[in-house]
Copies of this chain bind each other. A is one copy, B any other.
């Protein structure tokens, strides 16, 4: 239980309500849980907030809710994120017991930075360097010569293969694989000869990689994911791909070999990108789309293959009209989602 007065102070909010009122946790507006604190990001949510059983909200100063305890803050979305950190339960396995679990196998040439925690049954190979305050959860394998910066969190059973380089504050969700061999074979006489994959993977500062996502090592040089880019679950990033900074690569997207993405590129879920392409800065591609040519202009794209979103919407409407000429028009779906 935490007092509203303390929470308001923590995020620099003005309190319109009882500073001694206690809440047990946070929730979303639709969760509608008594005894919690929630937030109103848009004016359109005010009515639902007022009608809810939630006793306390973070709102903008101009949107205080009558009958609710309110923390008034100019950026409620940000303030709730900061408060959420206070409510996060400990993720440290055995942190209290010891920094390095005795079952971890750490090569004598490896260096583990100050304050780092290594969980049970972790394996750390030769000449690995791990920075300060990292959390290496149980079952993780970090192979030879890999390096991790400070404050990285590697979740259970993730794998960091040889020579990978992770920057500061990199997070790998469970089962993520960094540095698997690129898919490279040379056909001769009807057989596929494996091409050695001599490169590595570089994940720059503040990159997060989702559960069971795979990022292959480069053929000669590095596959790279730029600073601040966040990759969702079950994404495939092939060898030699270069992903820029602050990109969002959503679940089950695949990026084929040697493609380069600029900064602030968003690929929504299940997008496919063919190899050896350039995608410029500030491109957004809608879910399930296919990118099969260079994208030279910022904007929003959709389709198989993609076209600018306005063209795509017209094409869909046109094709729908063609299709409808032959059938009923009741789609069984809502017109607005």
- Chain A residues at the B interface, C-beta cutoff of 8 Å: 25-28, 31, 33, 75, 77-78, 81, 84-85, 87-91, 93-94, 101, 103, 105, 107, 119-121, 123, 125-126, 137-139, 141, 143-145, 155-157, 159, 161-163, 171, 173-175, 177, 180-181, 183, 185-186, 188, 190-196, 198, 206, 208, 210-214, 216, 219-221, 228, 230, 232-234, 236, 238, 240, 246, 248, 250-252, 254, 256, 264, 269-270, 272, 274, 276-277, 287-288, 290, 292-297, 299, 301, 304-308, 310-311, 314-320, 322-328, 330-337
Q: Bound state CA distance, A282 and B226, in angstroms?
A: 39
Residues of chain B contacted by A198 (CB below 8 angstroms) = 25-26, 84, 87-89
How would you classify the secondary structure of chain A's contact residues: helix, strand, loop or mixed? loop
CB of A240 to closest CB in B, whole Å:
8
The reply to whether A234 and B234 form a contact with Cβ atoms under 8 Å apart is yes
Residues of chain B contacted by A306 (CB below 8 angstroms) = 333
Which single residue of chain B is at the shortest CB-CB distance from A83?
B196
The reply to whether B211 and A180 form a contact with Cβ atoms under 8 Å apart is yes
Residues of chain B contacted by A219 (CB below 8 angstroms) = 28
The reply to whether B333 and A296 form a contact with Cβ atoms under 8 Å apart is yes
Known: A84-B196, A105-B138. A191 touches B221 (CB 8 A): no
The reply to whether B175 and A175 form a contact with Cβ atoms under 8 Å apart is yes
Known: A123-B93, A157-B139. A327 touches B310 (CB 8 A): yes
Q: Pick the contact of A192: B248, B293, B315 (CB < 8 A).
A: B248
The reply to whether A234 and B232 form a contact with Cβ atoms under 8 Å apart is no
Which single residue of chain B is at the shortest CB-CB distance from A194?
B208
23 A-B contacts, Cβ less than 8 Å apart? Answer: A28-B219, A28-B221, A78-B188, A84-B198, A89-B163, A105-B121, A121-B139, A139-B159, A156-B159, A174-B177, A177-B233, A180-B233, A192-B230, A214-B234, A236-B252, A269-B274, A270-B270, A294-B337, A295-B332, A306-B333, A307-B332, A318-B325, A319-B323
Residues of chain B contacted by A121 (CB below 8 angstroms) = 105, 121, 123, 139
Residues of chain B contacted by A308 (CB below 8 angstroms) = 330-332
The reply to whether A296 and B337 form a contact with Cβ atoms under 8 Å apart is no
Which single residue of chain B is at the shortest CB-CB distance from A38?
B220
Q: Bound state CA distance, A15 and B123, in angstroms?
A: 44
Residues of chain B contacted by A174 (CB below 8 angstroms) = 141, 159, 161, 177, 180
The reply to whether B254 and A196 form a contact with Cβ atoms under 8 Å apart is no
Q: Pick the contact of A334: B157, B293, B315 (CB < 8 A).
A: B293
Q: Pick the contact of A220: B27, B107, B188 (CB < 8 A).
A: B27
